[in-house]
Amino acid sequence: MRGARLDGNLVDVGVAGGRISRIAPEIEKQGGREIEAEGRLLSPPFVESHVHLDTTLTAGEPRWNESGTLFEGIQIWSERKKSVTHEDVIERATTLLKWQAAQGVLHVRTHVDVTDPDLTGLRALLEVRERVRTWMDVQIVAFPQEGLLSYPRGLELTEEALRLGADVVGGIPHYEHTREMGVESVKQCFRLAEKHDKPIDIHCDETDDPQSRFLEVVAAEAIRTGMGGRVTASHTTAFGSYDNAYAFKLMGFLRKSGINFVANPLINITLQGRYDTYPKRRGITRVKELWQNGLNVSLGHDDVMDPWYPLGTGNMLQPAHMAVHACHMTSREEVTACFDMVAENAAHTLRLKEYGISEDHPASFVLLDAPDKWEAMRRLATTTLVVRNGKIIAEATAPEYYLMGERVNLYRKRDQPSR
């Protein structure tokens, strides 16, 4: 690959045997195919750290979510669940994975609802994970949507999902019937994780209720077990509603725990704040402060066209773009940080090995129609090339605009990319 922009420099990238053999300002011609990057941004692939492939692409079935709340979404899903079949899940999940891969996402962590006596969604996604293995990595979280302890046999079903091959233990303490059951559910998640040697990713405090304080339980268990970086707290939207005295105490404690955070800005900004009049809360966790405190924060899309969110194409720049706004991350450095939250940081959450662009790593990367991450965010740039293990798996043409026959390129004069 000739003339790609990496960390502000134009480089050539040599690929052999599916791996990056060399990165240098100029590599002599050695035969094989050459791609002209034309100064585009070379980035490691996007990583989707939180999505629901079992519920995706069902928006409007059997009805649309009129209140826009999390709880109406859960109700609609429990109705739609009755008509879920193996083929239905495979078809929808594979469609979204294709949308994602076409836009440069090569790693996906999906939660799958295991509060279903037949584990239909789980069995389907285990099959999907194998079918797509040549072009996409999928991690499956056994997620007890209707409660690990509150749903009949929820604990047994979650453990059965792990035995069948789920990669990660999930939970939903704020949805358990009582606070005590919520605390106990977190402890049971850790027990399962230790028993089956799996990481943990818990839907934690996804509510505006400032009394929802299961994050401290997750952090305490992470410290007690030493699981630290193998633990992820997803959503933690109540953290946006805690008073500052408690939030300050908690932050120190979180630093000690070393757990990962996943915020889902598109879904949090739309699902939360629904019971407020004005002022309306943003309903999103303290992304900026977690990031400033050195904790690993990634961003997920969460839902794509399902009972909780009617829009989306799986493009990871959309949640990153929303984070810039909803989390007040508009400085030069902060905008770039939001880009990293759907790439490097998300790779860290998923504990991916050999991620990133360096010699000897797998040749898995994307080109974006922008000179740098900041411009990619501003222009919601098109991913024009997706390479996985040295093979081109997707290509796209960036849109071109013409006004009265003259090309308009959406750059200021001083920011025009060279080459």
List the catalytic residues: 206
Q: At closest approach, how far in Å is the CB of 306 from Fe ion?
A: 10
| Residue with the two structure tokens 């996985």 | 388
Structure tokens at 289: 């402060």
Residue nearest to Fe ion (CB): 302
Q: How far apart are CA 261 and CA 299, in angstroms?
A: 8
| Residue with the two structure tokens 């966790």 | 285
Q: At closest approach, how far in Å is the CB of 50 from Fe ion?
A: 6
Q: How far apart are CA 139 and CA 109, in angstroms?
A: 5
Q: Which is nearer to Fe ion, 302 or 369 (CB)?
A: 302
* CA–CA distances in Å: residue 334 to residues 261, 337, 338, 373: 17, 5, 6, 11
Q: Which is nearer to Fe ion, 50 or 388 (CB)?
A: 50
DSSP per position, 269-306: HHHTTTT--SSPP-----HHHHHHTT--EEE--B-SSB
Q: How far apart are CA 107 and CA 343, in angstroms?
A: 10
DSSP at 207: S
Q: Which residues touch 245 (CB under 8 Å, ≥6 apart)? A: none
Q: Which is nearer to Fe ion, 54 or 302 (CB)?
A: 302
Q: How far apart are CA 76 and CA 391, in angstroms?
A: 41
Q: Which is nearer to Fe ion, 4 or 326 (CB)?
A: 326
Total number of residues that touch Fe ion (CB under 5 A): 1
Q: Which is nearer to Fe ion, 205 or 302 (CB)?
A: 302
Residues 280-339 close enough to bind Fe ion by CB under 5 A: 302
CA angle, 3 as apex, 2 and 7 as ends, to 5°? 130
Q: Which is nearer to Fe ion, 121 or 371 (CB)?
A: 121
* Helix (H/G/I), strand (E/B), else coil: 250: helix
Q: At closest approach, how far in Å is the CB of 41 from Fe ion?
A: 29
Contact pattern from residue 207 through residue 246 relative to Fe ion, giving x for each residue in contact according to CB under 5 A and a dash for the rest: ----------------------------------------
Q: How far apart are CA 30 and CA 40, in angstroms?
A: 22
In this structure, the strands spanning 260-263 and 231-235 are parallel
DSSP at 416: P
Q: At closest approach, how far in Å is the CB of 262 from Fe ion?
A: 9
Residues 116-145 close enough to bind Fe ion by CB under 5 A: none
Which residues contact Fe ion by CB under 5 A?
A: 302
